[in-house]
Amino acid sequence: MSTLPTRRQQIAFAPITGTSGYVLTGYSWQYELIGYVDSHGNDRVKRVSDWTSADVADITGREIVHQFSVTAPDGRDMLVSLEAAAKLLGFAKSDTGAKKIGSIASAVKTLAKLRMELASIEAQNASYAAKNAEHAADLAACGQEVATLRPEVTVLEPGVESWKMGGLEWIYRGYTAEHMQDYDRQARAARLSAMRDGVTDLKMLALGHTAGRYPAVISAGDLPERIRRQELKISKMN
C-alpha cells in the first residue's frame, strides 16, 4: 500500500452569509491518495482523509480535515468544522442552511476529484516528455557511436558470410553473379545499416530504455471543461 499526501488548498466560492452575520468563504478536504489492489488484482487509487495535514479548529481545538473558512462580523477569519460552521452561520436548526453547506462540501469534493484526475494526467505527460527527451539524447549518442562500426566478416562458403558486430551475428547470403554486383553492394549497405540499428537497440536497452518511444500525450478528454463547469457551479452556490 502506498500513499501520496499533498496539501490541499482552500476552494473559494460565492460567500454565504448566515442569519448571524458570519460568512462562509471557503472549504477544503485534506486527503491523501492510497494505492491498493482490488479483488480482481487491479491497481486502484482511493482518497482517504489525511490526518497528517489536519489543522486545529479555532473554536473546539480539535483537529479537522474537513475545513471550512468562516469570517466573523468583526472581520476575524476562522477555520472550523462543518458542524461549527452551521452553528456560526445560524443554520444549526435550519435544514435548508445545513443542506446548503453539505451541498458545497459535496461539490468541492467532486471538483477535487476532477482536479486530481487532471493533475495525474499532466504529471504522467510530463514524465513521458522527460523520458522522451532522455531517450532522444541517448539515441543520438548511441547512433553516433555505432555509425562507423564495421562487422567482422568470415567467409563460410562462396556467397555466404558471417557478420559479427557489437554482440550481434548475422548470416549474409550475397550475390556472386557478375551482373548482380550492383545489387549486392546495395544489399550489403542495407544489411550494414540494419545491423547498426540492431547494435544501437542493444546499447539503448543496456541504458535502461524500452523499445520505441514513450507516449507523447495522454488526452485529458473533457476533464478541463468538467472542471470549469464544476468551478462555475461552486461559484454560484449561494
DSSP string, 35-80: EEE-TTS-EEEEEEE-GGG-EE-TTT--EESEEEEEE-TTS-EEEE
| pLDDT tens digits, one per residue of 13-54 | 667 788 889 998 888 888 887 877 778 776 677 778 889 888
pTM for the full model? 0.48
Instruction: Label each residue of 120-146 as H, E or C.
Output: HHHHHHHHHHHHHHHHHHHHHHHHHHH
Judge contact between 84 and 67, C-beta under 8 A: no
| pLDDT tens digits, one per residue of 142-165 | 889 999 899 999 999 988 999 999
